[in-house]
Amino acid sequence: MKLVIVKIESCGQKIIASLPDKECLYVGDKVAIKYNKKGKETLATCLCDSYFVDEKSDVFKAVISAMGASEPLTNVVGRYYEYRFETEKGEPNEDKE
What is the number of structural domains in the chain?
Answer: 1
At 47-89, the pLDDT tens digits run 999 999 999 999 999 999 998 888 888 999 999 988 878 777 7
Would you say residue 89 lies in a domain? no
At 1-11, the pLDDT tens digits run 999 999 999 99
Would you say residue 38 lies in a domain? yes
Rounded Cα–Cα distance for residues 33 and 59 (Å): 23
| More confident: 67 or 25 | 25
Would you say residue 84 lies in a domain? no
Rounded Cα–Cα distance for residues 46 and 8 (Å): 9
Would you say residue 50 lies in a domain? yes
**Percent of the chain, pLDDT > 90?**
62
Would you say residue 28 lies in a domain? yes
Residue 90: band (very low, low, confident or very high) from pLDDT cuts 50, 70, 90: low
